[in-house]
Structure 1
Amino acid sequence: MIQSLVKASNILEFMKPVNKEYTIAEISEGVDIPPSTTHRILNTLIGCDYVMKDERTHLYKLGPGLISLGIAATSNINLQEDAYPILKALSKVTEEDAFLMIKSGNKGLVIAKAEGPHSLKAVEHFGLEIPLHMGAIRKVLLAFQPEKYIDFYLNEKLTPYINGGVPDKDKLIAELKHIKETNISISTSEYIKNGGGIAAPVFDYKKDIVASIGIIAPSYRITPDNQEELVKQVSYYANELSKKLGYY
């Protein structure tokens, strides 16, 4: 590995927050590189238009040369292909089936899946469209929609849960708010009898939700003893996929 390239990459990564400018001292401290080395790398990046320097304030920010690279990179993104190794990793660490889901109208649609080792499963089929308020993986998609859409959705006739119960709109609004605040959704027996799910959102480089990722399992395998660890793993791998899509 070429260390100078690694250092340059770390500097660019450090400078990613939008509309921020930095002194050499801030960058040097942030990436743990001596100021003299930081200065040399920044000068090289300026020559490539990857960094800009304000000669009046002596502050640095990302430059226009990165725009074309970003556009080219986004054109190479394939959500399903990028998600599959992450789903496999999530399934391996949790030993449960892992899913990638997207919004399709007012429903959620499975577009990728990795199977865990258990023979007893809470079955979720490809192409099966189920309303967004049913199940953790779909609720994540609903929670991050614009407020106007959520109001529209909740004013429609909501499909009852598997036990026949009609969704309480006030409770659902509170749950969606909590999901958006915590970036995690947990559900039990909403459209699969004795089935549970844990899910998290997937964002793209524009900070828009593009999908949700999560696990589905029989309820008895999601317990107070392991739920916290399962939540941690789902959140981690959702974030890994978001980073692949350029989210920061």
Structure 2
Amino acid sequence: MIQSVERAIHILEAIAHAGGAAHLNEIAGITELRSTTAHNILKTLQSLGYVRRRGGDTRYHLGDRIQNLARVAGDDDRLRRDLRALLEAMAEESGETVFLAVPSGDEVYFLDAIESRETLKAGSQSGERLPMAGSAIGLLFLAHIPRIRQRMLETHADRISLNLELEIEAIAQRGYALDQENWLPGLSCVAVPYAEAGEVRAGFGLAGPSFRLPLGRLEMLAGLMGDILDDRVPI
């Protein structure tokens, strides 16, 4: 048995048994580790996204990645199943390729997609992963999920420029994200958040050739997608 792995697992279990958050001395006591040893392991887990700290809170919380592991085991299937009708409605109303995505650590994971019937279209990305910073759907998560944004700022500061920070703030203010040929030449995209109990859980995106999706149409489609979400039957 590899001791460092065993200790890391015990620390994660200790935080979970404490209700999802615990102080360093509490973790060290439960795991019977020296505080310095527990602290060093926690720093590694934090850098990897398996634990996190919150402003004004000295406790260690279970991070996005450990929660994503649990989500992948069941919640992804539920979201894919429950939100398929909304995806179909967006595809029918827009005529463009639409997709459903969720945050997964520092990446975006595409759960589902429906391709446009047009000859020139954006391809389906279902099952693919992309870096969080860059794409419209990734910027949407950075804008609407503060803990992901904070971790990116702490661990990937080289990826977050001032212009990117300003764009993230603009997305948070207007409620949707736009991409006009930033990710790929000739491709434009708009993305809107999907929330449950006040927490953003996923995002819907729409993509297509830029000549069919000028700024005005992207903004109109953002409103259309928002209306479809507002009219959904609660799940």
Q: Which TM-score applies when normalising by structure 1?
A: 0.58
| Equivalent in the alignment of 1:154 | 153
Query: Given residue 217 of structure 2, which amino acid in structure 1 is its aligned partner?
Result: N
In the alignment, what sits opposite 2:187?
Answer: 195
Aligned pair partner of 1:238 in 205, 229, 233: 229
Report the count of equivalent residues: 160
CA distance in 2, matches of 1:116, 1:190: 21
The one-letter code matched in structure 1 to 2:205 is G
Q: 1:233 to 1:218 in 2, by over 3 A?
A: same
Q: 1:155 to 1:219 in 2, by over 3 A?
A: farther
Amino acid at match of 1:199: A
State the 1:100 CA deviation: 0.6
Contact persistence 2:97–2:123 (CA under 8 A): no
Q: Distance in 2 between matches of 1:156 and 1:98?
A: 31
Equivalent runs, 1:33-72 vs 2, <5 Å: none
**Cα pair 2:136 2:190 within 8 Å, conserved:** yes
Deviation at 1:122, TM superposition (A): 2.1
Inter-partner Cα distance in structure 2 for 1:142 and 1:224: 22
Give the 3 Å change call, closer, same or farther, for CA 124–189 of structure 1 in structure 2. Answer: farther
CA deviation map 1:176-207 (0-9, x unaligned): 11211221110122333321111110000x21
Structure 1 distance, partners of 2:178, 2:215, is 12
What is the RMSD computed on CA atoms of the aligned residues? 2.4
Q: Distance in 2 between matches of 1:244 and 1:234?
A: 16
What's 1:109 paired with?
109
Correspondence for 2:94 = 94
Distance 1:225 1:142 in 2: 24
SS in 2 for 1:203: strand
Matches of 2:216 and 2:170 in 1, distance apart? Answer: 22
Counterpart-to-counterpart distance in 2, 1:155 and 1:143: 15
Give the % identical residues: 21
Q: CA deviation at 1:240?
A: 4.1
Is residue 174 of structure 2 the alignment partner of residue 182 of structure 1? yes
Contact 1:107 1:129 in 2 (8 A): yes
In 2: Cα distance, 1:122 partner to 1:183 partner:
23
Bigger Cα Rg: 1
Task: Flag structure 2 segments of 5+ consecutive residues without an equivalent.
Answer: 1-74
Q: Any conservation in 2 of the 1:122–1:192 contact (CA below 8 Å)? A: no
Query: What are the ranges of 5 or more consecutive residues in structure 1 without an aligned counterpart?
Result: 1-74, 159-165
Q: Which has the higher helix share?
A: 2
CA distance in 1, matches of 2:119, 2:83: 23
